[in-house]
Structure formats: structure tokens, C-alpha cells
A and B are shown apart, each in its own frame.
Chain A
Amino acid sequence: QVQLVQSGAEVKKPGASVKVSCKASGYILSDYYMHWLRRAPGQGLEWVAWFNPNSGGTMYAQKFQGRVTMTRDTSISTAYMELSGLRSDDTAMYYCARSRPPEYGDYGNDYWGQGTLVTVSS
């Protein structure tokens, strides 16, 4: 069965970077886009970016442009998201979630990771 398993919680200082991993199983990583989303305390769900593991293509929400880097290691079926220049308002639960390539006309995220709590505090 399809599973996305994320790395553990992180505590970082302002200005630092954090790298979150998402290990996929039950399907071929390159066949689906990988999205990153977050939910900050008291806020709604927020889309960060997607990554095409097949081509390396990316799309970002405007507010994250320049601060997010996404990569993958197909040999271990794992996708990564690195967020730099951390601020206190980046404190949130971060999720990976897959979707079919959007050019197929289907934009839903059908499987999600369990979430990785990133806390930014001095």
C-alpha cells in the first residue's frame, strides 16, 4: 500500500535551515508529483510547492520563492524539502503529499505523510 513517511521533529534557531525528508513506498516516486504543505498553529492549510521527481521541475507559492529547495534520491524513494532563512512564523507542521501530474487535469493530493513539526525559536 502507498505510504509517505516523514522525518522527525526539528527545532531550529531563526536564520537557520531545515531539511525534511519524505520516504515513499508502494509506488514509483517518479510517477507522481510531490507537494509540500504546512499548517501553522491557529492557521489554515498552506501549500508551499510541488516537485516533479521525474524531471526535477518545480512550482512554488510566491511567498516561498527563493527560500525552498526540493530534491529527491530515487535510489531510496525519498523526497526532500529544505527551507532556509527560518523565522518564528515558519513554525508549523509540514506535510508531504503526492499528486498525479497536474497536466492530467487531476489536482488532488491522495496520500499524505504524517507530518513533521518544525519549531523555530531562539
Chain B
Amino acid sequence: SSELTQPPSVSVSPGRTARITCSGDSLRGHFGYWYQQKAGQAPVLLIKKDSERPSGIPERFSGSRSGTTVTLTISGVQAEDEADYYCQSADSTYTWVFGGGTKLTVL
């Protein structure tokens, strides 16, 4: 099955910008999605269709695409943004595909 590749960890100081990339063949012709999962909580949809923010998601979260790589950008990182982040797409059989997750540490 197709895989999505994310960096295992990203560290950033408060107020700076964090970028998390996700790449894979599944993203060819299919939208990318991003989820945030804080410790002990269910995941939350952060970005849909590469770059759309669902209602209620702060503007500091944004998404973009270049080819078969999607990127989650968090501007002005806050301590509360420390979490695991997952990208997701689907393959041609509508099987869901997830990246391995990126642990964001706010220094």
C-alpha cells in the first residue's frame, strides 16, 4: 500500500514558525489532510483539501502543496500547539493512508 512520509519530530521556539512536510505517491491526484492530536485527546481535523481550514481552527495553521508534498505551517507557535501531527490522504481504492506522525516540541 502507499505510504506518506513525515519527519518524526520538529522542534520550535514559541512565536516562531514550524513547518511539517508530508510526501508520498498517494498525494498524486488526491487531497492532503492534517490532524492534530494532543496527549489523551482524540485527533482534530486541522486542514482539509490541502489548504482549507475548518471552522474554528486558528488562522496560524495553514496548509500548502507542491507536487506530491503537502506542508503544514504553524505561524507564531504557542505552547498549546505541542502535539502529534498527522497527514492523511487516500489511494485509488479509497483506502485511507496516514503518515507516521510528527511530534512537535515547543522549546
Q: A-side interface residues toward B, CB under 8 Å?
A: 35, 39, 44-47, 50, 59, 61-62, 95, 97, 102-103, 105-110, 112-115
| Cβ A59 vs Cβ B94 within 8 A | yes
Contacts across chains A and B counted by CB atoms under 8 Å:
68
- Who on chain B is nearest to A112 by CB? B42
- Who on chain A is nearest to B102 by CB? A44
List B contacts of A46 (CB < 8 A): 98
B interface, over-half SS: strand
Q: B-side interface residues toward A, CB under 8 Å?
A: 1, 30-31, 33, 35, 37, 42-45, 48-49, 54, 84, 86, 88-90, 93-101
| Cβ B35 vs Cβ A59 within 8 A | no
List A contacts of B48 (CB < 8 A): 106, 108, 110
List A contacts of B95 (CB < 8 A): 47, 59, 61
Whole-angstrom CA separation of A106 from B89 in the bound complex: 9
List A contacts of B101 (CB < 8 A): 44-45
| Cβ B31 vs Cβ A107 within 8 A | yes
Decide yes or no: A102 and B98 within 8 Å by CB, A45-B35, A108-B45, A114-B42 being known contacts: no
| Cβ A103 vs Cβ B42 within 8 A | no
Pick 21 A–B contacts, CB within 8 A, sort by A: A44-B86, A45-B35, A45-B37, A45-B86, A47-B95, A47-B96, A50-B94, A61-B1, A61-B95, A95-B42, A102-B90, A107-B88, A107-B96, A108-B31, A108-B45, A108-B49, A110-B45, A110-B48, A112-B42, A112-B43, A113-B42
| Cβ B98 vs Cβ A44 within 8 A | yes
List A contacts of B45 (CB < 8 A): 108-110
| Cβ B42 vs Cβ A108 within 8 A | no
Given contact pairs A44-B84, A46-B98, A102-B90, a sample of 7 additional A-B residue pairs in the complex whose CB atoms are under 8 Å apart: A35-B96, A45-B37, A59-B93, A106-B48, A107-B88, A108-B33, A110-B54
